[in-house]
Structure 1
Amino acid sequence: MRTLLLSFAIVGLLCGCSSKSDYGEARGIVCDATMNTVTIVTDDNDTLSFSTVATDKSGVDGLLLGDTAEITYRGKYEKGMGALKMVSYPQRALLGGDRDEHGCIGSAGYVWSEVSQDCIRVFEKGIRTESVRGDNRSVYIVFSPDSSQVELFFSDGQPNEILERRTLPSGGFAWNVEDDDTKNVRFINGLWTIEQRGEVIYWEDSAAADSSLGDWQERTYEGVLPAADTPGIRYTLTVRNREYSGDGTFVLAMTYLEAENGKDETVTYTGRRFTQRGSADDKDAVVWQLVADDGTVFNFLVSKEGTSLTLLNDKFEKPQSGLNYTLRLVQ
């Protein structure tokens, strides 16, 4: 585990020369960075911010959120003080450290699709359908390249099901298997539905299917937020919605840095995004409420420019700790 090393200045009594004890060092995960500043979260969950205007950056080859940074400074730490030198180390795990047997990167939201014969993000490639019972369960429908098969991805952990395309006597197609208990995927009244034994059990959200609400748009936000027992949690949140709709869907990957034996662990949530008005201290604030398929709820305050999100509690209140709880738009 990384440790925060703080050295306090010792004033020389007989000369003005600087000794090694005049310098301090800090090491942590980068949670925010601009052209002239950097903010890190240490192993002790301290959030430290430095100016990098006059910093020696010869040991930095690009700097990304989630990277590890070692910073040298002079004197007692103060927020926003100048960093003398900074060295960075790229994050370890996001792109490759958690590949499965097919080479799919779980922390980036990729899973193997048998009908696609590829690693996909069902959030992007699939059609989301939701339980008609309103119990937060969902199923993504993924078509093979020639549409001869569909693969069903269940949010409740059921094994994927692969259905074959069949021509209906009345015209059109259905995807199912020769089984009395088979599921039927059909396009009915402009919406994709999943039936079982003649009853609709999942259907596509009408707003998602309504092209009059504009084209699909997708945005991704990232940041490393404080955690109790790890150097931080890397949030990668992608939201997807029609241009003129306040609702949509999301996928959130939360990577707990050095969670188990020094290895990162990732938990992924998918679900619906709803836009609400008003927070605890601003009745005009825009808040995104993310309701995951397992019932977990996340609330994010949206900045006026839409370039950052701040995690709120269940009462729509901002954190009072003074630590960084902000995700920033990356694409």
Structure 2
Amino acid sequence: MDMKKGFLYVAMFSALLMGACSQNGKNCATGAACGNDNDKVYTGLLPAADAAGVRYVLRLDYDDDHGYTSGDYDLVEVYVQNDSTKASGFRDAASFKSEGDFTVISGQGADSNKKYLKLVKDNRDSSAGSVDGPLYFLVDSDSTLVMVNDQLQPSETPGLNYTLTLVK
């Protein structure tokens, strides 16, 4: 086989390999598993002091180039009020959107085997009413996140549910 044919075969093989390892425009040859969807969406109705609850819709976009340990997030918080005139029994009172970066962090001490998400809002985001400091969530399972405080501890108030559930 001459040099030109050899080069042609190598080029075709490389193109075939890259096509097989790429999905949705993402190159999986860098060690990331093919088929992983980098976006996850969680939602839940969490307790609120001055409302019937706060509906959270949290979209996480994991960065594959950091081993899926960080990324960007979008959070929509909708404060709902009781309303007997609505079929659902609720009405939206106010809505706030924030975005920023998140990282996956490990717990400390006895909780060192647990994983948490730390959400830090972009400085340019100034949505009045939305949480200003970092938000923390315990990665409770593959499909649930539980909001925790800045000491990575869950609420101790009985009967209150701070869980977001995976919808996508």
TM-score interval, normalised by the smaller of the two chains: 0.5 to 0.7
Distance 1:252 1:263, change over 3 A: closer
Q: Does 1:275 align with 2:104?
A: yes
The size of the alignment, in residue pairs, is 120
Q: Return the match for 2:148 from 312, 315, 319.
A: 312
- Structure 2 residue runs of 5 or longer lacking an equivalent are 1-25, 83-90, 124-131
> Partner letter of residue 325 of structure 1?
Y
Identity of aligned residues (%): 28
Residue correspondence of structure 1 range 19-58 to structure 2 within 5 A: none
Contact 1:279/1:316 (8 A) holds in 2? no
Q: Which runs of 4+ in 1 moved over 6 A?
A: none
Higher strand share: 1
Contact 2:78/2:92 (8 A) holds in 1? no
How large is the RMSD of aligned CA atoms in angstroms?
A: 2.5
Matched residue of 2:51: which SS? Answer: coil
Alpha-carbon deviation of 1:257?
A: 0.6
TM-score under structure 2 length normalisation: 0.64
Contact 2:56/2:77 (8 A) holds in 1? yes
State the alpha-carbon separation in 2 of the partners of residues 256 and 280 from structure 1: 36
Alpha-carbon deviation of 1:231?
A: 0.5
State the alpha-carbon separation in 2 of the partners of residues 299 and 319 from structure 1: 12
Distance 1:210 1:320, change over 3 A: farther
Residue correspondence of structure 1 range 126-275 to structure 2 within 5 A: 212=30, 214=32, 217-243=38-64, 244-258=67-81, 263-275=92-104
Alpha-carbon deviation of 1:242?
A: 3.0
Residue correspondence of structure 1 range 282-301 to structure 2 within 5 A: 282-294=111-123, 296-301=133-138
Distance 1:279 1:210, change over 3 A: farther
Determine which structure has greater relative contact order: mean sequence separation of CA pairs < 8 Å that are 6+ residues apart, divided by chain length.
2
Higher helix share: 2
Distance 1:312 1:280, change over 3 A: farther
Contact 1:240/1:250 (8 A) holds in 2? yes
> Partner letter of residue 218 of structure 1?
D
